[in-house]
Amino acid sequence: MLRICYAEEKDRDFIRWTGNLLRSFLDDGRVGIVRARDRPDLMLASIWRPHRFPAGVPVALVSNENWLVYPPHFRLRRYKAVIGVCPPPHYYWGDGPAGPLPFILYPYEAVHFDQPIETLYAQREARLRAPKTGFCCFVVSNTVGGMAQRRLEVFQRINAWQHVDSAGAQLNNTGFRAPRGVQFLDWIAKYKFMICLENSDAAGYVTEKALQASLAGTVPIYDGCGLTQFNRDAIVDASAPGFLDELKALDADAAEYQRRQHLDLYLRRPSLLDFETRFAALLLS
């Protein structure tokens, strides 16, 4: 069994979703979570803050962010493995031993939620039937990233035509914050559309934003790298010059809205199989 500890043992959110990432290994006993004082075989560290490198304990860095927005605090060659949603730029690796770079790609959208993604897909049918009592929602709480201003502008354009409920920290007009976890999907399910642009654009950088809307039975208004992975009919492409005209037409056509609402977001659904194969080969051998 590979004994893993966390660099930040009080970061409950990071521990939660990395637990989802490692779920199959935890379930079959190939991985166990221990405290840093219990002589672990490996430490997991997040991209968000500096951390220590304990003597004799290799460290794996895990990022669910765009590397250009949240760069690493240390050269990546210091790590036993680097786990991310998109490949880091080569200049972050620095000098080190020759050989293949220990990078493992994974789909963050498959582990973000409080329940397995397969369960959420099974629940999607019920959420598709939820009455659409609202037009559109928007939940954004930070302004970090090269597309952060763009998504605020998309909100303002749509809201100037028809009211959009904003329930995040940015441009909040509801007087409350949207719930978290699976309850968030039930809240989204009340709306026909959701504005869910990525905060930045980088090759391979796709997060949970559009999938949240789709799992809730709501049509995403999206821009980002996911445009290369998504069924274009399942979204409203906010990068298109005439996206507002498309949105107006879709809002007015109940039959076409229902057809597109039911489409699967992904051309190929996210899977942890490739990640699990690479993780096992690199760290469990």
Judgement on whether residues 97 and 140 belong to the same structural domain of the protein: no
pTM of the predicted protein model: 0.91
The per-residue pLDDT for 115 is 86
Is 112 inside any structural domain?
Answer: no
From residue 25, give the alpha-carbon distance in Å to each of 13, 14, 74: 19, 17, 28
CATH code of the domain covering residue 198? 3.40.50.11660
In this structure, what are the phi and psi dihedrals at residue 145, rounded to the nearest 5 degrees?
Answer: 115, 155
Residues 121 and 246 in one domain: yes
Q: How far apart are CA 44 and CA 35, in angstroms?
A: 11
Token code pair at residue 111: 């582990």
Residue 138 lies in a domain: yes
Cross-sheet strand order for the sheet of 165-166: 165-166, 134-138, 191-195, 219-222, 236-237
- Check residue 97 and give its pLDDT: 66
Its domain, for residue 180, covers: 117-261
58 with 146, same domain?
Answer: no
Judge if 201 and 95 occupy the same domain. no
Q: Tokens 């990640």 sit at which residue?
A: 275
Q: Is residue 122 part of a domain?
A: yes
Q: Consecutive sets of 10 residues in the chain, 285 residues long: mean pLDDT of each?
A: 96 94 96 95 96 96 95 95 95 79 94 89 94 97 89 97 97 94 94 96 92 97 94 96 97 98 94 96 90
Note whether 11 and 77 are same-domain residues: yes
On whether both 196 and 136 belong to a single domain, the answer is yes
- In-domain check, residue 139: yes
The whole-number pLDDT of residue 219 equals 98
CATH number at residue 27: 3.40.50
Residues 179 and 84 in one domain: no
List, in sequence order, the alpha helices (H) in 28-90: none
d(CA 25, CA 31): 5
Cβ neighbourhood burial of 283 (10 Å; 0-12, 13-18, 19+): buried
- Please tell me the predicted confidence (pLDDT) of residue 254: 97
CA angle 139, 140, 146 (to 5 degrees): 140
Are the C-beta atoms of residues 259 and 234 closer than 8 Å to each other?
A: no
Q: Domain check: are 69 and 126 in the same one?
A: no
Query: 198 and 131 in one domain?
Result: yes
Domain annotation covers residue 94: yes
> Is 244 in contact with 218 (CB distance < 8 Å)?
no
Q: Are residues 225 and 141 located together in one domain of the fold? A: yes
First to last CA, the chain: 11
Domain count along the chain: 2
42 and 147, same structural domain?
A: no
Note whether residue 25 is domain-resident.
yes
Output the pLDDT for position 53. Answer: 96
Separation in Å, CA 238 to CA 64, 231, 249: 23, 14, 14
Q: Which two tokens stand for residue 87?
A: 């490949």
> Would you say residue 99 lies in a domain?
yes
DSSP 192-245: EEEE---SS--TT---SHHHHHHHTT-EEEE-SGGGGTB-GGGSEETTSTTHHH
- Residue 146 in any domain: the answer is yes
Q: Which two tokens stand for residue 251?
A: 């809002």
- Asked whether residue 96 falls in the same domain as residue 161, the answer is no
Check residue 80 and give its pLDDT: 95
**The total number of residues written for the chain in this structure:** 285
